[in-house]
Structures are given as C-alpha cells and as structure tokens.
C-alpha cells in the first residue's frame, strides 16, 4: 500500500495528541494515511505495552488510518544510530509517503526530539539507492514538524474544527493514559498526563485563533512556502 501521508512519533498516543485532527481530516478528504509508532511506550507509568497497542488500534480506526505500524524500539532509549534509521527507512520505502509528519526537533521528552532527527535522517537515507536496505530507493517530498509540545510559532495551521471531536475520541481511546482507574493514579507523583488532553485542547484553540477558526493544529516547515495567488491569501492581517 502506498500512502499519501505518514505520521511518525515515538509513542502510541503522540500522533493523536499532536496531529490527530489533521490525520483525520486528510483521511476524510480521501488521502491514504498511516501512522508509525517507534516504541510501545513500555516505560510509561500507566498501562502496559499490550494495553497501549490495543488502544492504538482503536485510535487508528477513529482516525481512519489505513495502516498503523509499531517498530518496537526501546522506549526512553531512542538514539540516533544506523539500526534505528534503517528500520524507519524500510517503512518509508515500503509505503512511499509523499508527506511525512515528524515531532518538532526540540522538546521536553528526549524521545520526541530524537524521533525528529531519526525520522528526518531515515527519510534521507531511504532515498539513497546504494544504502543497505530492502526495497527500492524512495524519498518523501515534504516533511512537516508538529508544533505541539513546543513553544514555537507555527509556519502553518490546519483547521480541525470539524475533526476536533474525532481527535478527542482518538486521544481518549488511550483510557490507560487519560482515563485511568482511581487506584492507578499516584498521589505522590504529578504526571503531565493528568492535564495533557485538556492542554492539547487549549492549544488547538490557540492555533485556531491564529487563523480565525475554532480549532487548529500547527506545523513548522524549514523551507520557504510557495504562493501563486497573493490576492487570495486566507487569514486576516488586521
């Protein structure tokens, strides 16, 4: 299966939190979308790897992803190496996505910014004909970086107002993370998870205000965007 859009993230639930609305919107528009989770999130405080994989499958169905793959790389131990790059690059060659979404290259969790570099370098080496990988050389055309989790002004934002409730359902499909039983909550440790779903909603409102809609998701690109019609640009300047 060839994909139009592939989102790569370090843990199950990261795609839902950072670009789930965009993934759903693109799937609804008829694009073939997929998700690649690098780890099973096994070092997380809540839930088991098996539980999170089941939750990830339910969330992928809500987002209408054509495929979801988990590489099973070690959670909290991601680092840039040929082995991990090759594993991601093989998936790139298999699905040949035109566009790839990666985490932003700075962040609180080391796995997030490491996944950004791993993903970028994997996209590059996947296009090297003589790099020792299976399949034929292929390199994505476009890379977007999800601005969520980072204090950065997005280059562009996607209106997800109609997809916001679907995104929320996909996030809450991870019941072990965001709707844990009382006995699974710790009174001694304050977890960002306890407010993360709410914070992502507030951020979607913030990005939405930037472009004059109710909810949006922000992205950063490193290259200059091309515009043909400056007289028809959206988003008011004043």
- Domain of 26: which CATH number? 3.40.50.10320
Q: Which domain holds residue 102?
A: 5-180+189-222
pLDDT at 192: 57
**Helix/strand/coil for 220:** strand
Cα distances (angstroms) measured from residue 178 to each of 31, 137, 185, 223: 29, 40, 10, 36
pLDDT at 188: 45
Question: Is 232 part of a structural domain of the chain?
Answer: no
Question: Is 234 part of a structural domain of the chain?
Answer: no
Cα distances (angstroms) measured from residue 92 to each of 6, 164, 193: 9, 28, 30
Question: Is 235 part of a structural domain of the chain?
Answer: no
In the chain, how many domains are there? 1
How far apart are alpha carbons 200 and 96 in whole angstroms? 30
How far apart are alpha carbons 195 and 187 in whole angstroms? 15
- What Rg do the C-alpha atoms of the chain give, in angstroms? 18
Cα distances (angstroms) measured from residue 100 to each of 61, 126, 129, 130: 19, 13, 20, 22
Question: Is 66 part of a structural domain of the chain?
Answer: yes
Question: Is 170 part of a structural domain of the chain?
Answer: yes
pLDDT at 19: 97
Asked if residue 51 lies in contact with residue 177, where contact means CB atoms within 8 angstroms, the answer is no
pTM check: above 0.75: yes
Question: Is 13 part of a structural domain of the chain?
Answer: yes
Q: Kindly give the parts of the chain with pLDDT less than 50.
A: 187-191
Nearest in space to 59 (alpha carbons), one of 174, 195, 216, 180: 174
Question: Is 20 part of a structural domain of the chain?
Answer: yes
Question: Is 73 part of a structural domain of the chain?
Answer: yes
pLDDT at 183: 55
């Amino acid at each position: 299966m060839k994909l139009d859009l592939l989102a790569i993230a370090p843990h199950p639930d990261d795609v839902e939190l950072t670009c789930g609305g965009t993934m759903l919107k693109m799937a609804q528009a008829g694009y073939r979308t997929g998700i690649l989770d690098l780890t099973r999130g096994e070092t997380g405080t809540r839930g088991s790897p098996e539980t999170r994989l089941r939750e990830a499958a339910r969330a992928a169905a809500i987002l209408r992803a054509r495929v979801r793959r988990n590489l099973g790389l070690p959670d909290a131990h991601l680092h840039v190496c040929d082995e991990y790059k090759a594993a991601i690059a093989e998936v790139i060659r298999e699905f040949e996505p035109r566009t790839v979404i990666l985490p932003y290259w700075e962040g609180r969790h080391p796995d997030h910014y490491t996944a950004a570099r791993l993903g970028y370098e994997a996209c590059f080496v996947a296009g090297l004909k003589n790099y020792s990988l299976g399949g034929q050389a292929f390199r994505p055309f476009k890379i977007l970086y999800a601005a969520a989790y980072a204090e950065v002004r997005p280059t562009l934002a996607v209106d997800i107002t109609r997809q916001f409730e679907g995104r929320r359902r996909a996030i809450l499909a991870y019941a072990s993370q965001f709707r844990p039983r009382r006995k699974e909550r710790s009174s001694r440790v304050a977890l960002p998870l306890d407010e993360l779903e709410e914070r992502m909603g507030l951020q979607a409102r913030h990005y939405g205000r930037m472009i004059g809609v109710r909810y949006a998701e922000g992205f950063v690109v490193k290259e200059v965007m091309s515009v043909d019609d400056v007289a028809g640009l959206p988003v008011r300047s004043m």
